[in-house]
Structure 1
């Protein structure tokens, strides 16, 4: 059974205006720590209301010049002004641990719903957790099931990031190498490979030979993202996030379950 898992469009910078025009729930990834530890908004202001406040830590290094109490007050004021229903701490950099451990107790105190990456769960026991959507081995469904057994399902959210990676065969690097869109399309034009869908990885792939080397390319497209979202819905996850920059206006197609619900 598919649940009504809300899908948020993640937008930053110049993507904020076109993302808001989709009339979908939006994560405004536009806030960070400014001068004197104050909340700073970057990029254009779309003036749209609702959605989530996205706080990112790119460029921040520890120790932070952080008055957590003042910053939370500013976050609360911005949430009230913009009618944001919660906060996403996009904590990925070297200051991630300090940021989450400083803010999570105060977000709990003020009963502000918030999300943090699953790898920081120990620092924020009452948060909602962002689960990765990329998988290079194993089973996508098994990964979701393991998280669902460990945490309350309604506090889990799938963080969908479009992947496009190349691996040499046999794989010498389990992470492979990231391919730009330009390189990906060049390979498709040059080799005209046949693509297949991997039920286990919930992604598409093709192989090709170049000289004596054989390569395996794993990638997402709108159909694989729809499949991942449908699987998250079947598990009953509380939310999902998709980057506007990955699919642009096609993000609108992710709002409702797709016909390939059991792909």
Structure 2
């Protein structure tokens, strides 16, 4: 794979699912690719609700947004049954739970949904952080890592849970780390902030095959060393190639990120 240009990874789009909300959903459906529509949520009273109507232009995955933070209890079996009914009614390709918190009420609901969708033979996807709440769901791995190796991470999880239970979320990274870094996150930089920093420092960029991302280093006015890790179109393509090589069969990507990468209309 030529990270400095080369051919675009277009043959992998059969495995890509565009994650959308609002107006992006109709535009993404027009691309001919699969779409994940984040159109479902749970009310403060613990009932399933539609935040938007699913797109009628294409069969899609249904996305369930995270629970309200003030919600302490839910009727998990009822929500699971309602969600299963909605997935069947819309002939959804699957359901994705976009949960970011690992708290008891989320685990309870995920476990009930996992059971109901498995019995209905409907694919279910959750973030890897929610793995302890489910027995059957496919686990999605974020590609935005700041240490180790992307290929080794995916391969290790496939060995633990089975290759068919691992999917990926193509998430571009752009972060500034003060070295030595005490967190895996760093300070998020916009593309404009990163380019301005690169212009000011005159640093040279390099490509990390392990992280599958580009980076540069600089020293600030307080003599602190910094490590800036970032993605662009070429590294996103390289990540798709690595995921394909690992046998990952489903890759989710936010529509704005995939739009430029794949030259979508």
Fold shared, TM-score > 0.5 on shorter chain? yes
The 5 A counterparts of 1:126-145 are 126-145=136-155
**Aligned pair 1:162/2:172, yes or no?**
yes
Structure of higher RCO (CA pairs closer than 8 Å, 6+ residues apart): 1
The 5 A counterparts of 1:1-263 are 6-34=15-43, 36-43=45-52, 46-64=55-73, 66-93=74-101, 94=103, 95-211=105-221, 212-247=223-258, 249-252=259-262
Distance 1:53 1:119, change over 3 A: same
In 1, Cα distance between equivalents of 2:246 and 2:62:
25
In 2, Cα distance between equivalents of 1:79 and 1:154:
21
Question: Cα deviation per residue 1:87-123 (whole Å; 9 max; x = unaligned)?
Answer: 0111112443232123222222222210111222222
- Paired residues of 2:44 and 2:70 also in contact (CA < 8 A): no
What root-mean-square deviation, in Å, do the aligned CA atoms of Structure 1 and Structure 2 show? 2.5
TM-score by length of 2: 0.84
Unaligned 5+ runs, structure 1: 255-263
Question: Cα deviation per residue 1:185-219 (whole Å; 9 max; x = unaligned)?
Answer: 33234334322110111111112232223321101
Cα offset, 1:135, TM superposition: 1.5
Q: Say how many residue pairs are matched.
A: 251
TM-score by length of 1: 0.84
Unaligned 5+ runs, structure 2: 1-8
Distance 1:44 1:245, change over 3 A: farther
In 2, Cα distance between equivalents of 1:146 and 1:245:
30
